[in-house]
Structure 1
Amino acid sequence: MKLTILGGGGFRVPLVYGALLTDRGEGRVTEVVLHDLDDSRLYAVARVLAEQAATVPDAPTVTATTDLDEALRGADFIFSAIRVGGLEGRADDERVALAQGVLGQETVGAGGIAYGLRTVPVAVDIARRVARLAPDAWVINFTNPAGLVTEAMSRHLGDRVIGICDSPVGLGRRIATVLGANPREAFIDYVGLNHLGWVRGLRVAGRDELPRLLADPDLLGSFEEGKLFGTDWLQSLGAIPNEYLHYYYFNRETVRAYSEVEKTRGAFLRDQQARFYDEMKRPDTAALTAWDRTRAEREATYMAENRETAGAGERDADDLSGGYEKVALALMRAIARDERTTLILNVRNQGALSVLDADAVIEVPCLVDANGAHPVAVAPLPDHATGLVCAVKGVEREVLAAAENGSRTTAVKAFALHPLVDSVNVARRLVEGYTEVHPGLAYLK
């Protein structure tokens, strides 16, 4: 079975390959094709993968190419993890937004809109090529903003594109663990959009254990989200929000914290990864060791400003191991082998969440089998969550319209309607600022 990885020179690709190395079952991935626009990054990542595979018998073969069509032909699965504009673009997204006093995070608020505006046209081109060159392939999308990009691609690929994210997986694991339950045996009632969802229940053997957690302040404050949001607020919500909702619930504090740091997250990763790829140019570098060291630093500093604002302290060791690669492997196994399972995924709504239309991509538990991912019908969200989900989905639709029509006016509308952008004039200045620094937004007229 052939897996093509778009963004194959990306830093986290070894996580995916490492997961593949653990799979010895029938119908496993035997061929991996890395595609990237930068052949030096492909070379660096291929070196890491070679060291990973050195002690694994019959490891999947790895080839690399800068030719997209070549990479797509004959693929059974296509894993998309591209970053349009690179980490320099992410750093610019943050800088332009913070200059206007709003959040520049890569998937939330102004930064997420800017990233979406320059990524959607590229993702749509990829989707069209997949439909032409590999119509039977399944596309697993990890490109951010994951929900928005998955919806853009679904307009050309239908349900054969499925978005994944590690945030709900980590959240569910932490809740189950603190309750003394096996995460693999728990059903997580999680509903929302990508990076905008809530755990409303956690059922073990048919019993919802979440009320027990919410009723115990000590237990509730013992894990990441309890420390991040505070026990009083979680008890008020009656649910456990995805960590990215910290940007909404504590926006003023977060913007201030991001404004005061020496480097934004994007700038930190840009510089850190530049050092890694430069190091990999030396033939005597121990590739896997260098990658492991860089990854550990990357994971330890994740959402550091939010945790500092909340006084949440350092991340727990269990939260430093990623997780999206395990979701991707479980998804591929379920489809390729008809190993039926339940995963939290980004898929077209199809009536699962009644407040949104059938084509809206949402993030919910899905039953997965050989025919793909099927969203589980979920109970309506409370009014406060419904309002936020509908507002952000409305913004995503404006981003898609702006990308399709090349409309600068529609782009301004997308920024202005976002809950974390507080003025139409700010929205106009954001569009001006982003079009100045991003050549990929030149299509907006």
Structure 2
Amino acid sequence: MRIAVVGGGSTYTPELIDGFARLRDTLPVSELVLIDPAAERLEPVAGLARRILAKQGHGATVTATQDLDAGVAGADAVLLQLRVGGQAARQQDETWPLECGCVGQETTGAGGLAKALRTVPVVLGIADRVRRTNPDAWIIDFTNPVGIVTRALLQAGHKAVGLCNMAVNLQRKFAKLLDVAPGEIHLDHYGLNHLTWELGVRLGGPGGADVLPRLLDEHADGFALELRMPRRVLEALGVFPSYYLRYYYAHDEAVQELRTKPSRAEEVAAMERELLRMYRDPALAEKPALLGSRGGAFYSEAAVALAASLLGTASLPGTASLPGTAGEDGGGRPSVQVVNVRNDGTLPFLPDDAVVEVPAEIGRDGAVPLPAPAVGPVQAGLITHVTAYEELALDAALNGGRDRVFKALLAHPLIGQYDRAEALTDRLLAHNREHLAWA
């Protein structure tokens, strides 16, 4: 089995390689192809990848290439984890919105729109080349903003599923609190990428007992501290919100905090420099502990589980214990995982072609969302609002134009005022002209 990773020079990649090595019985990879235009990053990452596999006795070969077409040729699955503009662009996304009194963040708000505008055309170009070279390959998108990027891929007719590591992280968190294996936890995880709520936490599978009320009762103070929200808010909601919801529920407070501390982009850039230095050490043969602070924890488990189900290897020994999936039972039942997938009536208040982040049955034919529980008006209202923004954001990314950018910003619930939308539009275009062919 041949797996290609576009953006293979990312400092995330050793996390992915470690997962492939540990979970070899679930996903029998024979060749990993790391594709990246930045040779100065690609070579040290590829070298560490080879040493990780060798140390764990994995026989897969690692190929490093800057040639996209050669890299994806013959691949069974193509993972996308690229960042157009690198950390320098992220630094801009996290700073200029603050000048207008808005959250500076790389996946939501004005910074998230800038990232979408840079990313969608590039990803679609890559996907077109994958389809020409190997039309049967599955595309697994880990590139943010995952919801908008996945919607673009599906709208263009590609075999694609979006993936985020947030659900698998929460699954492990709740499993630890309950002292059970992660595979025993099923999340009623509903919403959009980076805009989700756990409506239930079930023991044993989708039909299991909901223990979320117990968790909220026993751990409310800890959850409130972690999410940086008052306990009374969690008690009023009665569900577990994503930490990204703080940008919506405490916007002005978040803006003030972001203005008074170094950006996450600065922290990550420094971390990446140190990680790449470590990766060049020929004695290093495992992912370093520092990588755990980089973000993307347990991405490898989620990616292996998803690829194994899409490629039909999920019934192999060991799959049943994977986080995020109950595996296949030998009778061909698809595994259940949280992914970004076309809505198709799952959330009835959204259009069918919206992309939602929900539990879905995953098999060779793709992802089919499970029936959703009732979604309350607090959640449904915000989901609907952000979905409208995402539709406008995708239109701007595909067709360009200042007016489309302005409308997307005006529609975003973190902005919503025409004077701010005008000022943000000017700044977005000024900082991203080199990445926008139409600007």
The one-character-per-residue Cα deviations of 1:122-153 (angstroms, maximum 9, x if unpaired) are 11111222222111001110000011111111
**Structure 1 residues 234 and 226 mapped into 2: Cα distance closer, same or farther (>3 Å)?**
farther
**Structure 1 residues 441 and 426 mapped into 2: Cα distance closer, same or farther (>3 Å)?**
farther
- Residue 96 of structure 1 corresponds to 96
SS at match of 2:156: helix
CA distance in 1, matches of 2:17, 2:411: 40
CA distance in 2, matches of 1:434, 1:285: 42
- Shift of residue 403 of structure 1? 1.7
- Residue 113 of structure 1 corresponds to 113
The one-character-per-residue Cα deviations of 1:280-323 (angstroms, maximum 9, x if unpaired) are 56xx564457x615424435xxxxxxxxxxxxxxxxxxxxx811
CA distance in 1, matches of 2:294, 2:357: 26
Identity, in percent, stands at: 35
Q: Work out which of the residue numbers 330, 348, 354 in structure 1 matches 2:305.
A: 330
Q: Work out which of the residue numbers 398, 401, 418 in structure 2 matches 1:404.
A: 398
- Shift of residue 220 of structure 1? 2.2
- Residue 66 of structure 1 corresponds to 66
What TM-score, normalized to structure 1? 0.88
| 1:210 maps to amino acid | L
Q: State the structure with bigger RCO (CA 8 A, min sep 6), 1 or 2.
A: 2
- Residue 380 of structure 2 corresponds to 386
The one-character-per-residue Cα deviations of 1:49-74 (angstroms, maximum 9, x if unpaired) are 12212323243210111111111111
CA distance in 1, matches of 2:175, 2:224: 13
Contact kept, 8 Å, 1:91 with 1:270, in 2: the verdict is no
SS at match of 1:212: helix
Tell whether 2:191 aligns with 1:207: no
The one-character-per-residue Cα deviations of 1:182-222 (angstroms, maximum 9, x if unpaired) are 331122111100010111111225211112223x2x42223
Contact kept, 8 Å, 1:179 with 1:209, in 2: the verdict is no
**In terms of mean alpha carbon deviation, does 78-87 or 123-132 score higher?**
123-132
CA distance in 1, matches of 2:59, 2:259: 46
CA distance in 2, matches of 1:277, 1:138: 29
**In terms of mean alpha carbon deviation, does 82-91 or 224-233 score higher?**
224-233
Contact kept, 8 Å, 2:4 with 2:79, in 1: the verdict is yes
- Shift of residue 421 of structure 1? 1.1
- Shift of residue 428 of structure 1? 1.9
CA distance in 1, matches of 2:371, 2:83: 32
**Structure 1 residues 56 and 233 mapped into 2: Cα distance closer, same or farther (>3 Å)?**
same
**In terms of mean alpha carbon deviation, does 225-234 or 167-176 score higher?**
225-234
- Residue 124 of structure 1 corresponds to 124
- Residue 363 of structure 2 corresponds to 369
Contact kept, 8 Å, 2:27 with 2:304, in 1: the verdict is no
CA distance in 1, matches of 2:10, 2:409: 29
| 2:264 maps to amino acid | R
> What's the Cα RMSD here?
2.1
CA distance in 2, matches of 1:288, 1:100: 46
- Residue 344 of structure 1 corresponds to 338
Alignment of 1:145-294 (within 5 A): 145-158=145-158, 160-205=159-204, 206-214=208-216, 216=217, 218-223=218-223, 228-261=228-261, 263-277=262-276, 286-288=283-285, 292-294=288-290
Moved over 4 A (4+): 223-227, 278-281, 284-289
- Residue 38 of structure 2 corresponds to 38
**Structure 1 residues 335 and 43 mapped into 2: Cα distance closer, same or farther (>3 Å)?**
same
The one-character-per-residue Cα deviations of 1:367-422 (angstroms, maximum 9, x if unpaired) are 11222221112034211211111111111111111122112100111111111114
- Residue 423 of structure 1 corresponds to 417
**Structure 1 residues 275 and 341 mapped into 2: Cα distance closer, same or farther (>3 Å)?**
same
CA distance in 1, matches of 2:222, 2:278: 39
- Shift of residue 249 of structure 1? 1.1
SS at match of 1:229: coil
- Residue 85 of structure 2 corresponds to 85
Unaligned 5+ residue runs, structure 1?
Answer: 300-320
- Residue 320 of structure 2 corresponds to none
- Shift of residue 180 of structure 1? 4.0
CA distance in 2, matches of 1:294, 1:257: 25
CA distance in 2, matches of 1:199, 1:245: 12
SS at match of 1:221: helix
Contact kept, 8 Å, 2:106 with 2:112, in 1: the verdict is yes
**In terms of mean alpha carbon deviation, does 236-245 or 367-376 score higher?**
367-376
- Residue 24 of structure 1 corresponds to 24
CA distance in 1, matches of 2:226, 2:97: 28
SS at match of 1:157: coil
Contact kept, 8 Å, 2:201 with 2:211, in 1: the verdict is yes
SS at match of 2:107: coil
Matched residue count: 417
Contact kept, 8 Å, 1:351 with 1:377, in 2: the verdict is no
- Residue 443 of structure 1 corresponds to 437
SS at match of 2:95: helix
Contact kept, 8 Å, 2:6 with 2:82, in 1: the verdict is yes
CA distance in 2, matches of 1:34, 1:48: 12
| 1:221 maps to amino acid | D
